[in-house]
Amino acid sequence: RTNAESQRKSALSQRESATLVDWLLEKYPEMKNVGDEPQIRPGIVHRLDRETSGILLAAKNQNYFEYLKSLFKTRRIKKTYLAVVLGAFKEKTGVIDKEIRIKSGSVKRTVFSGKMAKQAITRYTVKKTLRTADKEMFSLLEVVPETGRTHQIRVHLASLGHPVVGDRLYGPQKQPVWAERLMLHAHSLEFSTAESRRIKIEAEPPVRVRLPIAQAHRRRRVRRAVPGRIKTGAELSTPS
């Protein structure tokens, strides 16, 4: 291979291994002293689970960091997530109001017995119901957590018997073959700026979230167009 190809692959590898903090400091070096823990999380206002995709809010100066942090603390930021979960729901909307505790002897959270109970409220709306060719059922949810507890969405949905697909911590170890990672996406944040301007920030779901939904629609259209046809092997492992 040529020297140019080697340099390109080396640069790609470096970019892929770079952390979010590396990227932020490269783009916005003025953020290096912003935040509660600038040495570890410069400018980063809130947290996402490692496998959760989507929006993460960061501030470029300390004043705005404090302002955004106060919005989260006083629940004045509307957070909306998309989640693909196991099973189908009878009701199209619901509210989960269950305290979350730390499970004794573990880093896991639970709605059952444990320590340090904290109020947690999660609202959800069923956007689509998905069916695989082998009759397995999944649901696409729009989820709005009113509180911000660690693993809140994952724990609350699992407590209903509908764990997030790809969640081996709170769901089954055996997952669908198309679920390479956690199917949970921080889709939007809506809040008022310090200048009293209402804004909404959105992030397109990654392919791993969009793919099963798109496949569901494609399979359904084909089945209606060609009734009674034989299903292929690929369809047995993808939502339809």
As annotated, the active-site residues are 49
Are 53 and 205 a contacting pair, CB within 8 Å?
A: yes
What tokens appear for 166 in the block?
Answer: 């790809």
What tokens appear for 122 in the block?
Answer: 């999660």
Beta bridge partners of 101: 110
How many Å apart are CA 155 and CA 108, to the nearest integer?
Answer: 9
Q: Tell me which residue of 85, 73, 56, 54 sits closest to 155, measured CA to CA.
A: 85
How many Å apart are CA 22 and CA 10, to the nearest integer?
Answer: 17
What tokens appear for 12 in the block?
Answer: 């790609």
CA angle, corner 46, sides to 19 and 114, nearest 5? 110
How many Å apart are CA 222 and CA 240, to the nearest integer?
Answer: 10
First to last CA, the chain: 43
Q: Is 103 helix (H, G, I), strand (E, B) or coil?
A: coil
Q: Which amino acid is at 148?
A: G
Beta bridge partners of 132: 239
Q: Is 49 helix (H, G, I), strand (E, B) or coil?
A: coil
